[in-house]
Amino acid sequence: MNRKPSYQIADDLPLILWQCGFNSTELSWRTDNAPRPGDASAPDGSLHAFMDQNGRLKTVLDPHETFRKSYLEMHETYTQYRLKSIILKHHLASLAFQTPSLTINPTASSSPSATTAPPRSRTVFTPLGAGTTARTSTYIPLLSRKFGELPETLNARWAAGRGQQRMQRREDNQEEGNRLREINLRIKAEAHKEAKRLAEESDIGGSRTSNDATL
């Protein structure tokens, strides 16, 4: 089967990406903003910033403060959702005692004052996960539903529309990106040159001090 039947996507809330792997020889991971071997000092000599291997200026952050910020943000979200769930659970329990009673009376047609039950609903509820459901009047088996278009047709339509616009934006930004990269590489080279010059001056100054002390 090369075409997808029409169906509603299940809720993604219960889905969690737990583990994935990448080739370590192709990627250089950074878990924090600490300087790495090969990084250059900032052009102004600041101890709180450095130039990474791509020539980008990075700010050195305290790992403890970064962890604290992430933990507090996650804890805040957890607390908010937990309070909402407690309140909604209380409301659901209260609504259970407020369910209206339905009385079926066969003489309802002759007695307008009799209480009758509404007609039974024929709505079909299809669970989609995370408490959500799809409501339909009748359930149609998956393979009996209308099929979508071929992937080639969808890809060609995307390439002629949004895909073409995205490629045009990428081409427009390519020249600006190359220019910024050249500037960053030049800054990095100048930083290396300046660091080398300062190191040589420091060595010369140390040698002069040693000679003066000998004399």
Say which residue, 81 or 27, is predicted with more confidence: 81
CA torsion through residues 104, 109, 112, 117, sign: positive
How large is the average pLDDT for residues 180-185?
A: 84
pLDDT exceeds cutoff 90 at 15? no
Largest alpha-carbon pair distance within the chain?
128
Say which residue, 199 or 74, is predicted with more confidence: 74
pLDDT exceeds cutoff 90 at 16? no
Task: Please say whether the beta carbons of 53 and 28 come within 8 A.
Answer: yes
| pTM score above 0.75 | no
Say which residue, 101 or 134, is predicted with more confidence: 134
Amino acid making up residue 102: L
pLDDT exceeds cutoff 90 at 51? no
Say which residue, 115 or 44, is predicted with more confidence: 44
| Domain layout of the chain by residue ranges | 33-93, 153-210
pLDDT in tens, 67-87: 888 899 999 999 999 999 999
pLDDT in tens, 155-168: 899 888 888 888 88
**How high is the pLDDT of residue 130?**
82
Task: Please say whether the beta carbons of 3 and 147 come within 8 A.
Answer: yes
CA distance 90 to 109: 40
Other Cβ atoms closer than 10 A to 127: 11
CA distance 191 to 183: 12
Read off the pLDDT band of 102 (50, 70, 90): low
